[in-house]
Chain A
């Protein structure tokens, strides 16, 4: 598409041609960063719910001066002679089809926080009807992920979106856009798809131009960055609290939420594990980033053959926003043995936390357990 942008520059500047984009993406800020990086100066519309109904991207449409589609994926060599220079008569045609947008979807696309829960509930309700409607499932998944990315989003919503997308895609395997949405959040594949591996380069180049890159809301996962997984049996890493000396978080200063995504290939089960570590807002708890990093240890697994991790010991950086009370997130892949149906993963978090502005600060251990179920 940036190729077409450059190819049509002269005609656009003369006013003979307009460009408009539609992105089939969950996160509009990433498309904004891409447009900023590539200098795309035309309107780009956001279609996270796949309302166009397209099953693949990219698609290029040549549309005449009367709004009639004249070609799908036109050839550049013939573009000027067979489209741009042709004067299309205002022929009689059918009226423009109206694509009704349910109110819940309009509210979600408008990022209306007051309508968020009602909109998600409406789309969940549509997805729970029988017979199962794959489009309704996909849309409910989009809604749940939007709520996960909103302030205070819970990992249960992310799990809901992963489950819905898997269901939608299994009902309609040819839907490439839906399949990519499922794969985007992991786990990494043997041949990773480079979803957003351009982000770091884009940010660096935009910064070098003296501009401020568009800030990204949701954290990029290893899968989105197309990092190839390197699994190790584990065991050579030193457990940070093997002797259980750190006092337990008995008052619930921290809550652990999780979501797991299994690969779509259906071969060796690989799970992408997403953990959200949330300080207890009711108790006014926040992380004490100055005292030290938050540590996550992925420990034992009650599965006979065990699991493989890429790393068992993780240190989480302070929140990007600098807000100590903000939740911390970790995405990590784990590989099960072929034929495994899943099992329980046990681990713990070691963290420095404080209660209130002048309150107590403590170093605590919070044990957690995550059920990994191969779908």
Chain B
């Protein structure tokens, strides 16, 4: 049992941190984030059906 677990652990440990960057001509990614009031989460890939302006900003 223990031997079976090792390959899986190795896989998890070596996985690099994932990141993304915006690209013109590509769909918004399936990236799920909470709203600032914490009441729900939204995946960016759900945002379709209407034209959209997406602002990435900081209040500072």
Point out residues on A near B: beta carbons under 8 Å.
Answer: 1, 4, 8, 15-25, 28-35, 43-47, 50-54, 57-72, 83-84, 93-101, 109-111, 126, 129, 133, 135-136, 139, 177, 180, 184, 193-196, 198, 224
Most buried by A among B33, B53, B56, B60: B53
20 CB contacts below 8 A, A to B, read A1-B57, A18-B51, A23-B58, A46-B33, A47-B33, A51-B31, A52-B20, A61-B56, A63-B54, A67-B47, A83-B51, A94-B26, A97-B26, A98-B29, A98-B30, A99-B30, A100-B18, A129-B13, A135-B17, A177-B58
Task: Please state if A101 and B32 are interface contacts (CB–CB under 8 Å).
Answer: yes
Tell me whether B59 and A135 are in contact (CB under 8 A).
no
Spell out B's residues near A (CB within 8 Å).
Answer: 13, 16-38, 42, 45, 47-60
Known A23-B58, A52-B20, A58-B57: A68·B49 in contact at CB below 8 Å: no
In the complex, are the beta carbons of B17 and A93 less than 8 A apart?
Answer: no
Interface of chain B: mostly helix, strand, loop or mixed:
loop
Q: Decide: A63 and B28 in contact? CB cutoff 8 A.
A: yes
- Cβ–Cβ < 8 Å partners of B50 in chain A: 15-18, 65
Q: Which residues of A contact B37 (CB under 8 A)?
A: 28, 32
Shortest Cβ gap from A140 to chain B (Å)? 10
Q: How far is the CB of B12 from chain A (nearest CB, A)?
A: 9
User: Smallest Cβ distance from B16 to chain A, in angstroms?
Assistant: 6
Interface contacts beyond A53-B21, A64-B51: sample of 15 additional A-B pairs, CB < 8 Å, sorted by A: A16-B51, A22-B57, A23-B58, A45-B42, A51-B20, A52-B19, A59-B57, A61-B22, A61-B28, A61-B56, A69-B28, A96-B28, A99-B29, A110-B38, A184-B60
